[in-house]
């Protein structure tokens, strides 16, 4: 990536760097080491606000799960920068296809309460994401990548100036869908950006047992396009790299609409999900070296150093994040559960067999009462 190559990749201070060779803009204290993207103060503050909101959402969601108020939840702590900054680097109508952990993409697009409703088990939860051009959460690892490339190819055929951005983990690179999707993207110039969140683990499987390739970014070479390895805990580096990749996908850099594979190197501080216990497979202190690279204090340090935010501004962001998350929880908890919702939004036109099952359920609800079909609190 031409512009991105201008960034610094050194590490000449005392803080141990667990990431290896990555494109980077900010040092651990938010000091500038590379080329800062050309963003207005408001835009930089918006990235910070969305990252703080993502972390607050995480704290509250884990706590709600422990209280039995939501089902399983996949925490983002440590990985906020890559999905938030990547989404800010796109245009509003560029669709995002994500896996399940990249909540920052949804928060950066306005954070509808529907999102939490999904994690609470309401079918209506994913429907609201359509309004913000975010495709539904994808549990089948890698399965959303061919969809993203299909959307990108459709934009190309229809001559629409849009780019599809897909997020997935290091574990997804072992799936056939990953290879098929990237192969199509390379052959057919699909206007697409692939963001591979390398957090070092696929549940309990370490990155080294996932692939013999030294890096994930270099897999792009096999598909005939560029791969970039970036510090995924540096929001300004992620912004620059994704923005450059989106411009390239649009054909704005040299006329060719080329995809890019971006490996964001990062660490999940928490468990894989609320159903996981990482102490069973990794050292408690394995995350120590990564704490120094926590994306939130880093961007905060930058904003303070540059005079963009002071104590009051930082406090205001925290309060706004608390309020925003509290409002989302209130609204999501107000959603009325309707068991018949499970039949909605599966097909554009409900097939007869599914219609028959729905009628059967409605009749049973009529007979036994709604409460018989809802979990006891």
Ligand X SMILES: Cc1ncc(C[n+]2csc(CCOP(=O)(O)OP(=O)(O)O)c2C)c(N)n1
Where along the sequence are the contacts to ligand X (CB under 6 A)? 101, 139-141, 168-172, 197, 199, 201-203, 272
Contact 189, 236 (CB under 8 A): no
Which of ligand X, Mg ion, none does residue 172 bind (CB under 5 to 8 Å by kind)?
ligand X
Closer CB to Mg ion, 74 or 241, in the complex: 74
Distance of alpha carbon 61 from the chain centroid: 16
Active site (annotated) includes residue 55: no
Angle at 284 between CA 275 and CA 85, to 5 degrees: 70
Task: Give CA–CA dist 73/118, Å, rounded.
Answer: 10
Among 94, 114, 170, 263, binds Mg ion (CB under 5 A): 170
Closer CB to Mg ion, 211 or 305, in the complex: 211
Active site (annotated) includes residue 272: yes
CA dihedral 259, 260, 266, 268 (to 10 degrees): 20
Q: Residue 231 phi/psi, 5° resolution?
A: -65, 105
Shortest distance, CB of residue 203 to ligand X, whole angstroms? 5
Task: Give CA–CA dist 85/108, Å, rounded.
Answer: 8
The greatest distance separating any two alpha carbons of the chain, rounded to the nearest whole angstrom, comes to 72
Give the residue at shortest CB distance from ligand X. Answer: 169
Active site (annotated) includes residue 257: no
* Total residues binding Mg ion (CB under 5 A): 4
Terminal Cα-to-Cα distance of the chain (whole angstroms): 53
Closer CB to Mg ion, 202 or 216, in the complex: 202
- Give the interface segment with Mg ion, choosing from 78-86, 149-157, 161-169, 331-339 (CB under 5 A): 161-169
Distance of alpha carbon 90 from the chain centroid: 13
Shortest distance, CB of residue 172 to Mg ion, whole angstroms? 8
Q: Active-site residue among 250, 281, 304, 318? A: 281
Q: Active-site residue among 197, 268, 298, 324? A: 268
Interface ranges with Mg ion (CB under 5 A): 169-170, 199, 202
**Which residues are catalytically annotated?**
268, 272, 281
């Amino acid at each position: 990536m031409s512009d991105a190559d201008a960034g610094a990749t050194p590490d000449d201070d005392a803080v141990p760097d667990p990431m290896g060779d990555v494109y980077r803009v900010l040092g651990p204290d938010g000091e500038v080491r590379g080329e800062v993207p050309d963003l207005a103060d408001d835009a930089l503050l918006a990235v910070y606000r969305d990252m703080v909101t993502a972390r607050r959402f995480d704290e509250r969601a884990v706590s709600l799960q422990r209280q039995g108020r939501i089902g399983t939840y996949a925490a983002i702590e440590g990985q906020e920068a890559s999905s938030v900054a990547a989404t800010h680097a796109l245009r509003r109508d560029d669709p995002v296809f994500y896996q399940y952990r990249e909540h920052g993409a949804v928060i950066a697009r306005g954070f509808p309460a529907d999102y939490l409703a999904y994690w609470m088990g309401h079918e209506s939860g994913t429907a609201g994401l359509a309004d913000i051009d975010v495709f539904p959460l994808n549990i089948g690892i890698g399965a959303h990548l061919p969809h993203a490339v299909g959307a990108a190819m459709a934009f190309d055929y229809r001559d629409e100036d849009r780019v599809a951005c897909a997020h997935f983990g290091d574990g997804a690179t072992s799936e056939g869908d990953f290879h098929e999707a990237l192969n199509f993207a390379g052959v057919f110039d699909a206007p697409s950006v692939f963001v591979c969140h390398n957090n070092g683990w696929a549940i309990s499987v370490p990155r080294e047992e996932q692939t013999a390739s030294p890096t994930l970014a270099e897999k792009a070479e096999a598909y005939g396009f560029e791969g970039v390895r970036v510090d995924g805990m540096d929001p300004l580096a992620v912004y620059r790299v994704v923005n450059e990749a989106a411009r390239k996908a649009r054909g704005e850099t040299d006329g060719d609409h080329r995809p890019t594979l971006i490996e964001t190197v990062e660490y999940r501080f928490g468990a894989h999900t609320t159903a996981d216990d990482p102490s069973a497979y990794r050292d408690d202190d394995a995350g120590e070296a990564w704490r120094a690279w926590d994306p939130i204090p880093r961007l905060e340090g930058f904003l303070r150093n540059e005079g963009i935010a002071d104590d009051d501004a930082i406090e205001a962001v925290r309060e706004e994040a608390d309020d925003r998350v509290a409002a989302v929880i209130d609204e999501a908890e107000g959603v009325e559960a309707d068991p018949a919702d499970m039949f909605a939004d599966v097909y554009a036109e409900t097939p007869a067999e599914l219609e028959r099952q729905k009628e059967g359920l409605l009749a049973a609800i009529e007979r036994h009462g709604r409460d018989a079909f809802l979990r006891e609190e």
